Structure 1
Amino acid sequence: MINETLGIIGGTGWLGGAIAKAVLAKGLVPSGNLIISNRSGNHPLVQQGASLVTDNQDLVDRSAVVIIAVRPEQFTSLNINATGKTVISLMAGITAQAIATQTLAAAVVRAMPNAAVEIEQSFTPWYCSGGVEATTKILVQRLFECVGTAAEVQEEDFIDYLSALSGTGPAFPALLMTALANQAMLAGIPGDIAQLAAKNVVVNSSQLLASRDAQQMIDALVAYRGVTAAALQAMTQGHFEEQIGRALQAGAAVARTGLQA
């Protein structure tokens, strides 16, 4: 348990709420040290020990570390003074400098969790800007380990790139599953069977990768020269990896320039 007061602006939204719930469930901070903001002044997390405020500045004043878990376009109207505080931003596309300039925070941490926080399976990269103390870094790492795994990166640009990779959460698997099912149906496979087959590939069979090296698995399947090898070869010849690269660069470009405060 870490004896810091943690405030979450947007702590009742899907992202902030999932983090708040996990922090309480895993006892990261004493329940009375978690403060969340909510305009209605009412939320079930209060029954678990969290403090609830309706004013964001009140939350900031009472917190040592402040998490901003709002949509990027809402940041400019946030109007908080976090002088001397550490601010953890979960917003894509808003630079650490922009956050520090607007909030007057002493230090800014940018982090990019994804929708898998709901099942505590997110990978969250995070980056520190300014004088973040070692104890605060420990808090940040343990905070995001409450909802999955996490790692500190040394360049802010990595956060923008990873916004388009890990930050997309289930988006790429969902696209693959949809494509597999649609192509199976175009081949005449009944829709329910196509959906089950595609889901098994993306959701169930991919769990083998949790304990195996992905490239070694690909190499072994290609060496077998069977059905799977033929399918993989067709995808390679279709420049599959290059298309993934273009997709990631497109997403990163938006994170770098499209959402600047």
Structure 2
Amino acid sequence: MINETLGIIGGTGWLGGAIAKAVLAKALLPAGNLVISNRSGSHPLAQQGACLVTDNQDLVDRSDVIIIAVRPEHFTSLNINATGKTVISLMAGIKAQAIIAQTSAAAVVRAMPNAAVEIEQSFTPWYCAGEVEATTRSFVQRVFECVGTAAEVQEEDFIDYLSALSGTGPAFPALLMTALANQAMAAGIPGDIAQLAAKNVVVNSSQLLASRDAQQMIDALVAYRGVTAAALLAMSQGCFEEQIGRALQEGAAVARKGLQA
């Protein structure tokens, strides 16, 4: 168990709240070492021993590491002084140096979880700006491992790109599932059957990829020269991968614009 105190600004929102619940559930630190800001000063997490405060600066003063889990457009109104401390930002598009300039933090970690934090299946890339001790880096990694998997990246721009990739969470699978179901219904398949078939492809069958190499699976299916091979060939001829690339670049461009968007 870790003795550092973790403060989460926005710790009762969907993202910050999911992290707070997971940190407590995994007993990463003593419940009293988790500080959460909340306008009302009341929340069920307090019943588990977490400390609730109504003032963000009070939270910063009590904490060794501070997570900011608010919408990017709300950042400028926070007005916190985190001199000498490490701030972890979950806000898309706000550069580390901008956060350091406004908060006076000694170091900033930019991280991008996704909606799968709710089921502890998020992938969270994170980037460090400033001097961060090895123990703090380990702490950051362990915090995000409470809600899935995590990895440190060495360039800040990677966070903006990954905001459009892993940061989208279930968005791309949801789009694929909807397209499969819609096309099946257009072909005359009853709606309930179409939905079940599409869900099986996206949610159930894709679990095979947890233990298999994706490209090897594709190569094997193409080599079989059956129904699946024909479908895959049609998708590749339709520039499927190029469309994915354009989608990621568009999303990353929005992330890079940040508050200017």
Same fold (TM over 0.5): yes
Residues 81 and 104, structure 2, Cα contact 8 Å, conserved in 1:
yes
TM superposition shift of 1:259: 2.8
Q: Deviations over 1:181-215 (max 9, x none)?
A: 00101111111000000000000000000000000
Residues 92 and 258, structure 2, Cα contact 8 Å, conserved in 1:
no
**Structure 1 191/204 Cα, relative in aligned 2: closer, same or farther at 3 Å?**
same
TM superposition shift of 1:258: 3.8
TM superposition shift of 1:257: 1.0
Residue 39 of structure 1 corresponds to 39
Q: Deviations over 1:43-85 (max 9, x none)?
A: 0000011000000010001101000000111111111111111
What is the rounded CA distance, in whole Å, between the counterparts of 1:17 and 1:6 in structure 2? 13
Secondary structure, counterpart of 1:40 in structure 2: coil
Residues 6 and 63, structure 1, Cα contact 8 Å, conserved in 2:
yes
Residues 19 and 146, structure 2, Cα contact 8 Å, conserved in 1:
yes
What is the rounded CA distance, in whole Å, between the counterparts of 1:91 and 1:224 in structure 2? 45
TM superposition shift of 1:230: 0.4
* Structure 2 length-normalised TM: 0.99
What is the rounded CA distance, in whole Å, between the counterparts of 1:193 and 1:76 in structure 2? 49
Q: Deviations over 1:72-126 (max 9, x none)?
A: 1111111111111100000000000110001110100000000000000000000
Q: Deviations over 1:6-35 (max 9, x none)?
A: 000000000000000000011111111000
Q: How many residue pairs were aligned?
A: 261
Residues 93 and 260, structure 1, Cα contact 8 Å, conserved in 2:
no
TM superposition shift of 1:2: 1.0
Residues 84 and 105, structure 1, Cα contact 8 Å, conserved in 2:
yes
Residue 142 of structure 1 corresponds to 142
RMSD: 0.9
Q: Deviations over 1:229-259 (max 9, x none)?
A: 0000000000000000000000000111143
Residues 10 and 38, structure 1, Cα contact 8 Å, conserved in 2:
yes
Secondary structure, counterpart of 2:126 in structure 1: strand
TM superposition shift of 1:260: 4.9
Alignment map for 1:134-173 (pairs within 5 Å): 134-173=134-173
Secondary structure, counterpart of 1:123 in structure 2: strand
TM superposition shift of 1:170: 0.3
Which structure 1 residue ranges, 4+ long, deviate > 6 Å from structure 2?
none
* Structure 1 length-normalised TM: 0.99
Residues 6 and 65, structure 2, Cα contact 8 Å, conserved in 1:
yes
**Structure 1 67/134 Cα, relative in aligned 2: closer, same or farther at 3 Å?**
same
Residue 90 of structure 1 corresponds to 90
Identity of aligned residues (%): 90
Consecutive unaligned residues in structure 1, runs of 5 or more:
none
Secondary structure, counterpart of 1:234 in structure 2: helix
What is the rounded CA distance, in whole Å, between the counterparts of 1:44 and 1:258 in structure 2? 33
What is the rounded CA distance, in whole Å, between the counterparts of 1:63 and 1:99 in structure 2? 17
